[in-house]
Amino acid sequence: MINSIPVKVDKDVSGLNWEVSDPQELARLIGVLAVGQAAHAARILEKLVPNAPAVSVAAFNDAACAQLRIKRGLTAEQKTAAIAHRDGFLFECIAWIATRQNANGRTFLKDPHISATSQGLDGLVIELEPRRQRIRAVTICEEKCTITPRKLFKSQVMPTFTEHHAGSKRSRELLATAVDIIKTNFADTTAATRAAARVIDLDCRHYRAALTVSPPMATAADRAKLFADYKDLANIKQAQRIGATFVVHNDLRDWFEKLAKSVIAEIKSGKVKKRV
C-alpha cells in the first residue's frame, strides 16, 4: 500500500520517496492503528491475518473517529492547530507503515502515537544483528506533515537530530524507548537494557527525516535544497542521513482530510463483529 522508492538527494543524504499504491488498504490499516492495535497491524503487513481490527469495541472506535474529526465551533487558530495535529498523526501512521513493510523479523518499531497531540520521539526503528542479540542499526525518525517542509526541517527536525547527535539529555529518552520496543526479544529487561545501550553509538546511528512535499519539489536538486544542513550531523556516512519525501499532488490539507474521512468510514464499517 506504500511503495518506498530510493531516490537521489546528494553526496551527504540518501533519499526515499513514498507513494500510496492502494488508498483503500491504507485507510483500512490506519484505522487499525487508530484503534490502538499496532501489533496486529504488523501481522496484517506480514500477510498473516486479514486487514481488519483484531477486535471491534464501540468505545475504541468512537474515540478513534473523534480523533480524526475536526470539531465544530473552534476558532480559526484552534481549527488550524487541530488540523495540523490530525494530519501529523496520519502521516506518522504512513511513515510507520512504510517502515514496517520493508522490515524483517529482527526489526522493531516504536508504535505510532495514539493521541494526535502526543509529544516525544516521532519514531524509532531498531534492527538487531541476524544471529546475535546485538543492535545493528538504530534509526531516529522525525515526520512532518507540512506545507513548509524546508522551514520545518531547519527549525524543528535538525535541532532535534542535533540534540540526539550530541548525546544530550535526550539519550535517556532514547534508551528507555529502545528498551521498551526490544524487550520482548530478550530473556529479561536487564539484558534488553544492556543491548539497548548501543543506541548512543554513532557507528550504528541513523536519522530519517520524512516530509510532505509538492510535485515541484520532487527532483534531486530540490531534495538537496530541502535537506541542506543535514551534513551538519558529523562523523556519519551518507547512508546514515535519510531524507524521505511524500509527494502530495493536490492541496495538502484537502488530501489528508479525504484520508481522514476514508479512515473513519473504514472504522465505522462494522466488518469485524467480534466483541470483548
Contact 49, 43 (CB under 8 A): yes
List the domain boundaries for the chain: 2-267
Tell me the pairing of strands 135-144 and 123-128: antiparallel
Take residue 62 and report the three cell numbers written for it.
468512537
Task: Spell out the per-residue pLDDT of the chain, length 276, in tens.
Answer: 899 999 999 999 999 999 999 999 999 999 999 988 888 888 888 787 777 777 777 888 898 898 899 988 889 999 999 999 999 999 999 999 999 998 999 999 998 876 654 567 889 999 999 999 999 999 999 999 999 999 999 999 999 999 999 987 788 989 999 999 999 999 999 999 999 999 999 999 999 999 999 998 889 999 999 999 999 999 999 999 999 999 999 999 999 999 999 999 999 886 533 333
Identify the three-state secondary structure at position 108. Answer: strand
- The 3-state DSSP class for residue 72 equals coil
Q: How would you label 28-38 residue by residue, b for 16+ Cβ within 10 Å and e otherwise?
A: bbbbbbbbbbb
- CB-based contacts of 162, cutoff 8 Å, min separation 6: 232, 233
pTM, rounded to two decimals: 0.91
Sign of CA dihedral 213, 19, 165, 33: positive
Mapped onto helix, strand or coil, the DSSP state of residue 11 is: coil
Structure letter (DSSP) for residue 199: G
